[in-house]
Structure 1
Amino acid sequence: MIKWFAAIVGYSFFRFPGALLGFIVGSLIDSVTSGKSKTIKQTFATKQQVTPRDFELNLLSLSSIVIKADGHINQTELDYVRQYFVNAYGKDRANATFRTFNEIIKNRQVNAARICMVINQHTRYATRLQILHFLFGIANADGQVSTAEANEIERIAGFLRINFKDFESIKAMFFRTGDHYYKILEIEKSASDAEIKKAYRTMAKKYHPDKLQQMDDAYKKGAEEKFRAVQEAYEQIRKERGFS
């Protein structure tokens, strides 16, 4: 099926953000093109039908906001987005999509609030978290996430109704500061050793692969990546503080 092919290709090039976005758009294509009774609503718990083209354009519009956040268009970030579409859907479709994307980048004022309202209606919370991963991946394509880019993604996260702690945890994986390991664990740097251990146990249990056997492979890969980030954060804090 298209969704699994797209997820595998996406993961090969962009790890979990690519896998999930490939799975999302591929599933939409399967739903639109198949004659089966399974609907987009059943696949994504949506309120009404959308097309793959709608989702792509909304995603590209949000991508354009991030790319233009620091006042100029970075070719590396453009290439990151384009390469995802080339590897997931082929050069011809990517070229057609990017003709529209170039118009969005150069000429359109994008209404993030309106776009996110549509996305909220058609996606689950877990999917919106992975869209956030993708946006941070774009911002990080040139080697670092600028403050302006992080601020724009935070604004988008608000429109996507992302919990602030979830936002900070994802941000900390890309936007490294003196306390980013603590943010990954969703605690303050002033937390006690006991609180750190408790936070680690909570996060490790939440994202442990054994707890996610019923989820789609795309989601499981993302949870495994998050689980590794949680482990790394805990080990770094443990070494810094010197507790066992």
Structure 2
Amino acid sequence: MFSIVGAIIGYLVYRFPGAIAGFFLGSMIDQMNGSKGQRTKGGGGMGEIFRQQTQRGSTVSPADFELNLLSLASFVIKADGKVSQSELDYVRQYFVQAYGKERANATFKVFNDVIKKRDIDAQRIGMMLRARTRYESRLQILHFLFSIANADGTVSTSEVNVIQQIAGYLSIQMADFNSIKAMFFKNPDSAYRILEIDRTATDAEIKKAYRTMVKKYHPDKLVDMDEAYRQGAEVKFRSVQEAYEQLQKERGF
């Protein structure tokens, strides 16, 4: 009810961006009204809303997904105790590319005006996304978070720790976490880690691992996602190809 009213009022005042912002705000009011009488002491806020969303269905709406993704990005940006402008710019550019300028601006406005003023629970967000998104999509979320951390030229230990914690909430397997992490840390073992094998692997095992990773990270698995997501998947896919080509060159097979 409030979501529809909010969208109409927002459109009349600010046209399309106002409609989106009004819908978001109205949806939150609807959800908070529906949660009255169910909150426990110390609960409520966005954490309670995300808990209820997780219970309601098997898919996540675009509006919820964008706000949740932005919330996770905020944890990474603040992980090392400072807010990097290059990381902020990366997130904004990503959202504009994925959703268009007006929709991205409306999402940032709702986040700044409402979401970040409440307690944001990364675990609740992770649980909701885990229940309502495919594993391949969650792998791309992980790659996106590492890309944010790397936007200023380096990924700090504190950022890695925060991303690893979020990966746990998203039920990302440790081998996949280490594979994506290795794409941002260049060292003698990076190619092996990207392919999720040890340095002692045989040539045959390397070839088998490459075929497995190609299937796992192929961009076609994200054909239903936004363009920015598909481009991110292509970057990840190229990292797998480059790792395999590096080992081919080193070993001469």
Residue 82 of structure 1: CA displacement? Answer: 1.2
In structure 2, distance between residues paired with 1:86 and 1:181: 32
Alpha-carbon spacing, 1:135–1:206, altered in 2? closer, same or farther (3 Å)? closer
Query: Is the 1:65–1:110 contact (alpha carbons within 8 Å) kept by the matching residues of 2?
Result: no
1:74 and 2:84 aligned: yes
TM-score, structure 1 as length reference: 0.67
Q: Percent identity between the aligned chains?
A: 65
TM-score, structure 2 as length reference: 0.65
Residue 193 of structure 1: CA displacement? Answer: 3.5
Which one of the candidate residues 141, 154, 160 is aligned to 2:164? 154
Matched residue pairs, number? 196
Which one of the candidate residues 106, 119, 129 is aligned to 2:129? 119
Alpha-carbon spacing, 1:106–1:178, altered in 2? closer, same or farther (3 Å)? farther
- 2:223 alignment counterpart: 216
- Stretches of structure 2 lacking an aligned partner (at least 5 in a row): 1-55
Q: Deviations 1:25-70 (Å, cap 9, x if unpaired)? A: xxxxxxxxxxxxxxxxxxxxx9346433222211111000110111
- Stretches of structure 1 lacking an aligned partner (at least 5 in a row): 1-45
1:175 and 2:185 aligned: yes
- 1:57 alignment counterpart: 67
- 2:107 alignment counterpart: 97
Query: Is the 2:79–2:159 contact (alpha carbons within 8 Å) kept by the matching residues of 1?
Result: yes
Q: Deviations 1:80-113 (Å, cap 9, x if unpaired)? A: 1112223344444333322343468975543111
**CA RMSD between the two structures:** 3.1
Alpha-carbon spacing, 1:96–1:203, altered in 2? closer, same or farther (3 Å)? closer
Query: Is the 1:117–1:160 contact (alpha carbons within 8 Å) kept by the matching residues of 2?
Result: yes
SS of corresponding position for 2:57: coil
In structure 1, distance between residues paired with 2:215 and 2:105: 43
In structure 2, distance between residues paired with 1:188 and 1:172: 13
In structure 1, distance between residues paired with 2:213 and 2:60: 34
In structure 2, distance between residues paired with 1:179 and 1:108: 42
